[in-house]
Each structure stands twice: as structure tokens, then as C-alpha cells.
Amino acid sequence: MTGILNPHTIGPWWRRIWNEIRPGMEARRGALVAALATVIWAIGVGAWNLKLGYGAGVNLFFACAVAAVGIPLVALVMALLLKILRKLPGRFTGWIAGVFLFLAALFWFDSLGFWTAGAVLAIECTLGAAVATVWSAAWRKAARSKQIITIAAGVLAIAANIWLIRLLQSDGVDEDLLRIEKTAGEMPPALTVSNPGAPGSFGVKTLFYGSGNDLRRPEYGPSVAIRTTARDASAFFKEFTGWKPFLRRRYWGFGMDKLPLNGRVWYPVGTGPFPLVLIVHGNHQMTEFSDAGYRYLGELLASRGFIVASIDENFFNIGFFHDVPKQQAARGWLLLEHLRLWHEWNKAAGNPFFGKVDVENVALIGHSRGGEAAATAALFNKLSFYPDDATVRFHYGFPIKSVIAMAPVDGQYRPAGQSRVIEDVNYFTMQGANDADVFSFTGSRQWDHVRYTGQGNYFKSELYVYRANHGQFNTVWGRTDTAAPRNWFLNLRPLLAGEEQRRIAKVYISAFLEATLHNRREYIGLFEDYRRGRQWLPDTLYVNRYADSSNKTVANFNEDTDVTTTTVAGGRLEAKNLAIWREGRIPFRDGDREYNGVFLGWDHDHGTGSYTIALPRGLAGDWSLTSQSFLTLSIASSDELEAEEESAATDLTVALETEDGTTARVPLRHFGILLPPIEVHFMKFEILDRKFYKSPSEPVFQSIRIPLGAFAMQNKKLDVAKLKAIRLEFDRTPSGAVIVSEVGFSGSRSLQ
């Protein structure tokens, strides 16, 4: 081989070129100055976002100390290693490595942190080296090729800086927002009751109760209206030892053996008694206090005749770079200790709330970890012992009627290693589709673990809101669901405005409490079908699920491994012309719901598919089904089989057949909209979405409630007392897939 490809000519040619363009000492010095300038910037960013709680000066000192100790230490180690290897200039490379690790730590020391640190450092060092080279005395004598490459590198670095700054300052993109055309069919009538999100007729007062000697919270200092006694939670924290509890004790002025009972209260002006609502926040920086973030709910609910207390549990929150172990269980326990106070105050003459608390009508509300805490409190309330340590006795048994969970976690605390099952309470959970913190709808798993024993009238509901995030349910937490500077990568542009998201919370939480504590049962229609409250809600997409204590299950696909058997004994399941038919765990983005569903997929190229649930003989009569009863379906779209139109709602036919062969059919869309999978881009880069959020969508279940009278109207010969089978006919959408989690029947608005 001859010419330019000859290896004997390539070597000398490359050495000559390299000698011409090779960076000199001035380039190293420029790169190092740029790296140190980047460190100063990083120190500022780190100090601004540390929130150690001791003031800006301490935050800045801590960030400077980490840089001053960490970077030289890494530089020394790298210099020694490189001196041994004799490959690269040790001092220079060591300092660069130290800066790199400091930047990676700023961005949380994971894959994103390392890539970000590498990119920022490469850009800034390139710019610094280029500027220093041009500024040097040797610039005029440098080879033309070196001058061209240096200037090109500097221009590219400037362009990269501009691009990076614009990217990180931008809110992201929204061109991928899901937009659903109006679906043909019947729109249910809007509720005619007053807007539950509007202020009520009561004047509102506020007060604080607490220890009276709080070091960090002036509102819980000497000016509190009611002084409370600390609670000993040390039994929950036997493994919490060492420097971490020491630092917390130094900061707060108390340890886990003396937890204060602090709360801010909004209450109506009047004699009462008024239902009681306790709200508890979730995890956040412990030095940025969260309990004030529910003022918008406290003031609204108090004006509508509820006493509302926002509970301070900030001392459980993340701080000093660690989480408190097993605090998830203690959050629920402490909520019950607050409830104990209110029972005592209601009986104490001279107390501001003497005789004013309707202790038979109590609700617990929680957000994030607080949502799990509210459910844990409802569980502990009926237990005699702490499940994880039976040396701890419980003495509660309060009449808790309702639980609300906003964007809750689930499974961080598992009592005795099991799922948390709570019985005979009204339960409502809501989740934002764009929640970048709790990015799986885990409240839906707790929803399934709310059971009814047949005693009393209860209901449970869930709401999934497109373009709602995690933090905007709390005004302190705000628009970003992760801490800075990590949140610079979040895609925020699709989000609802904070006021709109909180308007949804006000409407639903107020309506739920009106229905369950004020016995305003006319508000239940909002939970059966969100479209009935469309006049009160912002314009976005919603998915809701509903069940009440009158529900009877035909099939929930958890009874055995036989895909042909129903949950109720004697029924049979059959499928025809389906591309997908199986039973299995229903997934989240991360993990699963711990219960099963049936997965059904169809394609008209293979004929019209169907899925039949044959009922046991005599079931309709045994369950006293009438034309006033409802067929209930819990169903979700799936992306397992590609639909012909990805942005179109799924439709199908629901058929009932009686023992004499009479059949009646109705379109699903007349009773509910089955949205396609709701895809979300949490981050500005798709590769980061896949890394941290796994899947762009997850199954979200919609309740479809069809009155049996609607089938009788379609075919007047249909006798619902002789029902033989329910059939789903996939004849209205050319292809697609769904997951069904439950099929059953419910009574005729038995909760009213």
C-alpha cells in the first residue's frame, strides 16, 4: 500500500501536525483557571440549594469547605497515581479530576451527575484553554493550523455554553401533549349543586398549638394558643444511632424521645360542633417547612364548616444528607397522637375547642409520604399493637370516617412486611400524570387494598390528572419535583399552573368531605364520573375510578391461575378472535399493583374479538339485580398492541345476554371515555426519561358504570333478573388493547 495510507508516512505526518497544534502550558493554565471558575459557580449553586437551616453564611462555608478539602485531596491522589503511571501531567490532571468529582457531587453523584460534570467541565476547560492560548505571547508565532483549531474550539465552546444555558433555563417542550378530540356519545348531566371549591358562608379564624419552646419555628414558640406535651417515639427508632440523631438533636433541640405536637389550625366562626380534618405533609427538606403549604385548603374548608389542622412533622424529613429510618410508620402514629389531643380538647372546659369538635366525623389527609401516613394511621387506629414491635401498645379506636391521599407513596412502610389493608373508611386518592417524584400511581394500589365488610355505606375513588405534578399540591414545594440543580433537567412546560392544580384539589377534597362528613351525598356523582363536575375544573384530561360498599365482584382475576374461572364460584370466562388474552400482574412504571387483571388485545384483520363472562346460574336473582343496578367495569387502555390512532379514545360494545337468548348492546362511549395510554415526558431529554422513569406511560383505570336499565331500553325484551352473560365486543376500534381489573355489579346509588 502506498501514498497517504502507508503506515510509514502516517506516523511522521501526525507527529508534525501534533507538534503544530499541541496545546502549550498557557492552554493548561487557561483550562485550569476555567475549571476553578466553574468551581466557584458550583459553590454558589450548591450553597444556594443546600438549605442546612443555619443561614446562607453556613451554607456557603460548607460548600467552600467541601471544595477546599475535596478538590486538593483528589488532586493529590490523582497526581500520585499519574506520577506512578507517568502518562499525564500529574498536578494538572489531578486538579481537573477533583473539579470533575465536585461537579458530579453537585448533580447527585449518579450517571446524570457524571455526564453533566463531564460535559460542563469539557466545555469550560476548552473555552479557558482557547482564551489563554489566544491571549499568550506565543499566539502570533503559532502555526496557522493551531490558530484555526484554537479559534474553532473557542467558538464551539461559546456556542455550547449558550446552548447549555438556554437548555437549562428553558421550561422544556410541550409539542407532545396528548390532545383528545371530543368523543361522540352522551355527556352526563352536570351536577346542579354549588361549586365545592368556592368559599362557604363561615368566617375563618386561625391559631397555632405546639410545644411553646420551638427553636426553629416562631409560630410554635411562646405565642401558641394551646401548649402541648411532647411524645416519646423512641420505640420506633431503636436503630437510629450515631452522628445522624446527634445532628438532628442539635438542630431541633429535641430527639425522637420528645417529639412536639405542633399544628396550625383554621376553624369556622360558630358554635359547632364541626367535623375535624387533619392534614399532614410528606418528605421535603426539613429546613424548608412544609406544613404552611396547605393554607389554601385550610381556609376553604374552614369557610365551609370544617376544623382543619395542618400537622408539623418536618423533623421526620430529609436533612443532613440522610433519611430517618422507619419514620414512615412513625408519621402515621404521630397523626393519631394529634387526634388524641383533639378528643381531649373537645371535653376540656376552657379550651378554645371545648364542645366544638364533631369527633364522630373525622378525616385524615396526607400528601406524598403523608398520604401513606394517613392510611397507616387508619390501620393503626384499629390495632392493639405496633405490627413490627408488639412491645409497643396502641390505645386509639377513634371513629375515623374518611382518608384522602394526594400523590401518595405506597410500600415504603409495609406493616409486618405485608400490604396495608384498611377497612370500612371512605378513601380518595389523586395523582398527577406529570409527577416527577412519585411517578407511579401507587395510591391506586392502596385504593385496591381498601375493603368493605358490609357494615355501613362507604365509597372509594381515585383521580388521575394529566399535566399535574407532585409539588404544586403544596404551595411551599412548588413547580419542581426534585431539588436544584437536578431540576434544571425537568420538562416543566406541560404543567398546569399551580393555581389550576390546586383548584382541582380544592374541588375534589371539599366535595369528598362534604359527601362523607357533612352527608351531602349529592356530591358523590363527581366521583362516579368526573365529567359531572366539568364546570368547576380546569381544561385537561382526567381518569377516575369509583367503587362503593354495595359493589359485588364477578371477576377480579386474582382467584387462581385458571384464565377460564371467575372470582365468584361457578362462572366461566371465554375469549374469541383475540391477539392477546392472559391474566397477570398489572404494572406500574416501576413495580406493580400487587393485583391482577386480564389483558385483552384485538386486531380486525383477525376478525371481531370478544370476551365473555358467563355468570353462575341464578346469580342475578341471588344478588337482587334490577334495572336500577349498575354493571361496573374497571378498565384501562394498554400500549401492548399498537392502536390504529394513538390519540383516539378506545371504544367497544358491552352486551348482556339472558338465559332465553335475548341480547342487548350499548356502546361503551355513552357511559365513559376510555383514554389512550397517557404518555409523559418528565425530562428534557428522552434518554433521561428512559433512564429514570422507565416507561412514558402506565395503565390507569377508568370506572365505567352502566345502568342495567340502559340495556333494557335498548331491548325491551331483556329481563335483567335472568342475566346469563356479560360480553365485551371489540367491534368499534380497529385494533388496540385493554386491561380489565374488575367486573361486577353495584346497587342503585345506595349511598344516598
pLDDT digits (tens, 9 = 90+) for 424-470: 999 999 999 999 999 999 999 999 999 999 888 999 999 999 999 99
Cell of 276: 375535624
| Whether the Cβ atoms of residue 689 and residue 683 lie closer than 8 Å to each other | yes
208 and 352 both lie in a single domain? yes
**Burial class for 98, CB neighbours closer than 10 Å (0-12, 13-18, 19+):** buried
- 699-736 residues labelled b (16+ CB within 10 A) or e (exposed): bbbbbbebbbbbbbeeeeebebebbbbbbbbbbebebb
pLDDT of residue 752: 36
528 and 560 both lie in a single domain? no
| Whether the Cβ atoms of residue 664 and residue 653 lie closer than 8 Å to each other | no
Q: Which of 516, 548, 580 is the last residue of a domain?
A: 548
407 and 517 both lie in a single domain? yes
Q: Is 280 helix (H, G, I), strand (E, B) or coil?
A: strand
Mind listing the pLDDT tens digit for each residue in 613-624?
A: 999 999 999 999
Question: CATH code at 429?
Answer: 3.40.50.1820
- 289-315 residues labelled b (16+ CB within 10 A) or e (exposed): bbbbbbbbbbbbbbbbbbbbbbbbbbb
CA–CA distances in Å: residue 389 to residues 63, 236, 384, 385, 394: 41, 8, 11, 8, 11
Mind listing the pLDDT tens digit for each residue in 234-282?
A: 999 999 999 999 999 999 999 999 999 999 999 999 999 999 999 999 9
d(CA 690, CA 183): 32
Q: Residue 401: name the closest of 304, 512, 300, 311 by CA.
A: 512
Q: Which of 548, 583, 609 is the last residue of a domain?
A: 548
d(CA 638, CA 379): 33
Predicted TM-score of the model (pTM)? 0.88
Reported confidence tier of residue 640, pLDDT bands at 50, 70, 90:
confident
- Poorest-pLDDT segment among 142-146, 396-400, 583-587: 142-146
The H-or-E segment that residue 632 falls in is strand 630-637
| Whether the Cβ atoms of residue 597 and residue 740 lie closer than 8 Å to each other | yes
84 and 223 both lie in a single domain? no
- Poorest-pLDDT segment among 74-83, 150-159, 675-684: 74-83
pLDDT of residue 167: 85
Average pLDDT, the chain: 90
Is residue 194 situated within a structural domain?
no
d(CA 715, CA 709): 10
- Poorest-pLDDT segment among 34-48, 435-449, 526-540, 687-701: 34-48
| Whether the Cβ atoms of residue 463 and residue 284 lie closer than 8 Å to each other | no
- Poorest-pLDDT segment among 21-30, 126-135, 157-166: 21-30
68-87: average pLDDT: 68
Domain of residue 709 covers 552-746
Q: Is 272 left (phi over 0), alpha (psi -120 to 50) or beta?
A: left
452 and 576 both lie in a single domain? no
d(CA 403, CA 449): 13
Is residue 186 situated within a structural domain?
no
Is residue 152 situated within a structural domain?
yes
Radius of gyration of the chain, Cα coordinates, nearest whole angstrom:
31
**Other Cβ atoms within 10 Å of 350 Cβ, number:** 6
d(CA 312, CA 279): 9
d(CA 78, CA 86): 11
- Provide the number of structural domains found in the chain: 3
Cell of 571: 362462572
Q: Residue 547: name the closest of 689, 408, 704 by CA.
A: 704
383-404: average pLDDT: 96
Q: Which of 147, 169, 191 is the last residue of a domain?
A: 169
Question: What percentage of the chain reaches a pLDDT higher than 90?
Answer: 67
| Whether the Cβ atoms of residue 209 and residue 308 lie closer than 8 Å to each other | no
d(CA 685, CA 671): 38
pLDDT of residue 656: 97
509 and 593 both lie in a single domain? no
